[in-house]
Amino acid sequence: MQCLLKDWQSTSLRSIRKCLALVVTVSFVSVAAASADPTTCEVSHSRTKDGKALCVRAATILLPQPRLTPTQIANGPDFDPAHPDRSRFAYFTDADTISCYFRPHYVFERLKSRSLKFQCWHMTPDGAFFGHRGERIAVEHPSVVITSDRNGNRSASLLDTDDSGETHEIKPDRLKIKYLSAPTPLQDPVYNEVFTEVAATRILWLLGVPSDRVYPVGAASCIGCGRDPFRNHLATNKASLKDAPVVFNVVSASRRAPWEEIDTGGDATWDWRLTNRFYADGEWTHQQKVEYDVYRLALGLIHFFNAAPKQNRLVCAAWQPVTSPDAKVCARPLIFVHDLGSTFGGEKGMNPWSANPRGHFTSWRQHPVFRHLQNCELSEPLGGDRRVLKDAQDLMIQRMAVLDPTTVSSIFRIARFQLMDREQLQRLRAAGSTNVERAALDEWTTTFLERVDEIRNAEHCRID
């Protein structure tokens, strides 16, 4: 009521309406959350927005920290060192060429981004498709159809027509490819997500922070893509499997993390404003707040600051046994940022229509984790409390023990940071460096380890 009185006194009708909406929203979510099991949430078939908020309220933010070998860091969490051939489908390397069939997707998004990317269905070398577990799906005459749901969201499906004329839907494994349109990776840093997302996900894997699976790839050979599907707003694919593919050099490929999304009408996002509210109003437990601060510290290492809800995913990491046909209970809802490409860079320039640089060393070096190291204040709080908890700092210090110089340098090499920043490479070359790529990796590694030391040395973190 204090904000209502304040706005009333200021006679701002717009402020009063805004404050009333906030009070109603906070009251409903608070009452509903208070009556819910604090560690689970019910996911009905209707999946209302209010029900989704309860899942965010019950969410876990961190995973148990894994112990990954250098090979597992390179190949990803799904690589099984006991069965390397059996798990080969689950990861890619920079020596691989992916074959795939274009799936229209990003042209249908209401909120457009700048990074060059496309989706495609993963194909075997002999012209079939891969299933979600790596099984082979043979096809005869595939075709793409575009449909709309009741909310107006359009999506593409893949059909196959056999020789008898019968048509049925097939659901192959789906990939997201980020690409560079130029023959060299030395270009505008807005397109450097090809590199930055590979490094960011590996750092979070090591810290036990949930994230997608993103891999460096030598090339992607795509049927039906055209030369530049993202900037050409390609909305269909009528290509035959016999048509020549377009080859994209220097790409990354990602699969979504292996958890089922909790969505409402195709929307599985969550909002930082909601999580920051749960953090501040006491609805989250102390453990949730500690994990949330650890997550913000981890994102501070890579300077992620894009707090748009569309980058975020709400998923279920474990379901309870089904007891009701109308709803399921998620025993472990999980929240995380699924697109980490906008990292290792800086803020936008003066042009409001420009994108912030990604993978730009000079910009990233200017953004430490803390604004005030002596008071444990984050440079980028993502809309929340600037000061993090001392318990979160202690936990983060424990988890960061795996980030030694050799491991960090290896991550940047896997992500191909030695090829990424044109300005950095030109500067090092002009300074007379005898091994420019090695010097670039050393700069990224040294600065990252300085960020790690910041977290270790921050003073007067908050006692809750």
* pLDDT tens per residue across span 322-338: 777 778 899 999 999 99
pLDDT at residue 261 tops 80:
yes
Task: Give the lowest-confidence range in 251-265, 401-415, 424-438.
Answer: 251-265
* pLDDT on residue 33: 38
pLDDT at position 31:
33
Q: What is the pLDDT of residues 309-365, one digit of tens each?
A: 988 999 999 999 877 777 889 999 999 999 999 999 987 653 444 568 899 999 999
Residues 6+ apart with CB under 8 A from 80: 86, 87
**Which pLDDT score, from 0 to 100, does residue 325 have?**
72
Reported confidence tier of residue 150, pLDDT bands at 50, 70, 90 = confident
Instruction: For 380-414, write each residue's pLDDT tens digit.
Output: 999 999 999 999 999 999 999 999 999 999 999 99
Residue 222 CA to residue 215 CA, distance in Å, equals 17
pLDDT of residue 196: 96
Q: Which of 375, 402, 396, 202 is nearest to 292 (CA)?
A: 396
Q: Are 214 and 198 in contact (CB under 8 A)?
A: yes
Measure the CA dihedral 10/13/18/23, to 10°: 70
Residue 16 has pLDDT above 90, yes or no: no
Of 34-43, 45-54, 370-379, highest mean pLDDT: 370-379
